[in-house]
Amino acid sequence: MLIGFLLLGGASACQEEEVMAPGSAAPLATSRTLYAIPSYSLDWENIDYMPWPNNDAPRVPWEVTTSYIPFDIRFDYKKEDGWELLYSTFSSNRIENDLYFILYNKYRGVMRLYYLSDPGLQESSYMVSTLRKEGPAAGNSPLLNFSDQEVVDFNVKSPFASRTEEAQFSGRAWYAFEYEVPYDPSIASGNYSNFSMNWRINSVNISKLEINGRGALEGKVPSVSSPGINLSLSSNFTNKSNSGVQITGPTVVENGGSGGGSGSWFTDAIKAGLSKALTNGVSGIATNILSGIFTKKKDNTANIATMKLKATMTYTGTVQSSSGLDNFALPLPGYGDSRYQNTYNKIPGIFYISGRPTVQQKILHYAKKTEWGGGYDLNGSYYTNTYSNPSNFQLIYNPEILKIASIQNVRYEMILLNSGEITSGQIETIGDKMYAVGLIAGYKSDQEPSTEGFVGLRVSFKVVPNDGSPAVLLVKTFKCNINTTTEIIPYQ
């Protein structure tokens, strides 16, 4: 059954492309370099083989050995857990040039693309997956902020989200790529000509990768993102940045930082923090993490978790050749445009924030008065550094999620790098460092504080489906404006 059209960019020497609708004898004119690609219905839960016009049909991605999908998400695909079909190019009548289907989880705000690689592709080392916004309206959208940024800045609109993936690239194999998206109500007034997505996959050779100054090429290279760096553009790259290591599921934590293999970057402190984040997150409490999604499968067979680990990354490599989905363009679900009818045609995302929060930093300098008066003896003085009172923002929830679920247990917590003795909040290990965390967070130190150690405001809440499906805990940390006041407290 044909359910709609996807739009796929292709290479051409012409200034204007011809677009053929399925079954049409004459071309249709278009002002963009696009081909009309049909999107077919797909009963992905109840089939063993993908729709195919002959006897060489590929098996579904969770039922084959040639699948590079991480184990902890491989069997997470059921409707009862919130998955809906966005697009599919698999048909029993024809074989499209690019073979993929895309699911969207309406309780988590996650898009997952399943891609079947061309059987003629040669094996290469690792992969870079890049999702990019396109069109004149794209610059104002926060669509990729959750996927690109470890600490989300409302004032920055990420143009792309680029990451290396754990999997190696080979022919006739299944891959899955996930991107979490925030709620953007402007999508409703958009269309493909002014706002779309472009998905690009490249093969990449990573010759060196260090995380927090430690080597990480033992076993598999973890999935890492580098905010503001598009790894698919340059043929050679050497980057050092504050990055996010994506940890997908309990198996990755148990195996020491990768899907199978270990890396010396995954220290005991990191593992202990992530283990606690996982245990508490699945039970509905956010700890030891800046960003994450936690839930269980409805049949209770597995815990589902995606966490980003803040890290400093240094890596060197070479982008080899463009492979697979080159210039793969998609309309967004939720357009208020009848020409684009996706299977799930509602605005994606669970929530976003109305603006950058403002928090209050209060520095108290406790200093002993000198005996002769009018001055202070700095010997023995100390400081307290406290953050509190987040304001000037609100959470904006997608009306679609409020129709099918309730939002519960909303929590706001300051996250402050500990540089002394904790005076407010609780201690959490996030990555390999200690932080003060709480609605009020602070520490005592003999060093004068600055604002550099303040990470942001962590927001967490539970999405509780009305149909009895397991609740989902969403965790995000947002960059803040800081108002600072300083006061001297004299003592004898």
Are the C-beta atoms of residues 293 and 474 closer than 8 Å to each other? Answer: yes
What sign results for the dihedral spanned by CA atoms 160, 165, 170, 174?
Answer: negative
- This prediction has a pTM of 0.86
Identify which has the larger pLDDT, 324 or 330. Answer: 330
pLDDT at 408: 97
Distance CA 384, CA 20 (A): 68
Query: Residue 418: enclosing H or E segment and its boundaries?
Result: none
Residue 468, SS3 per DSSP: coil
**Residue 191 structure tokens:** 């269309």
Query: Residue 137: enclosing H or E segment and its boundaries?
Result: none
Are the C-beta atoms of residues 204 and 320 closer than 8 Å to each other? Answer: yes
pLDDT at 444: 94
204-258 per-position pLDDT tens digit = 666 555 565 555 544 455 566 555 556 555 544 454 445 556 666 566 566 555 4
Are the C-beta atoms of residues 139 and 194 closer than 8 Å to each other? Answer: no
Residue 307, SS3 per DSSP: strand
The pLDDT confidence band at residue 24, using thresholds 50, 70 and 90, is very low
Task: From 393, 359, 348, 346, select the one nearest 146 (Cα to Cα).
Answer: 348
Q: Where are the beta strands (DSSP E) in 370-420?
A: 376-391, 395-397, 405-417
The pLDDT confidence band at residue 407, using thresholds 50, 70 and 90, is very high
Identify which has the larger pLDDT, 39 or 92. Answer: 92
Residue 317, SS3 per DSSP: strand
pLDDT at 324: 45
Determine the Cα angle at 335 with ends 194 and 91, to 5°. Answer: 100
- Pairing status of strand 454-465 against strand 433-445: unpaired
pLDDT at 64: 77
Q: 């067979």: which residue's tokens? A: 301
Output the furthest CA–CA distance in the chain (Å, rounded). Answer: 99
The top-scoring range by mean pLDDT among 92-101, 115-124, 470-479 is: 470-479
- What are 391's strand-pairing partners? 358
> Which phi and psi angles does 94 have, rounded to 5°?
-155, 160
User: Taking 90 as the threshold, does the pLDDT of residue 61 lie above it?
Assistant: yes
Are the C-beta atoms of residues 425 and 398 closer than 8 Å to each other? Answer: no
Task: From 350, 345, 296, select the one nearest 468 (Cα to Cα).
Answer: 296
Residues in the chain: 492
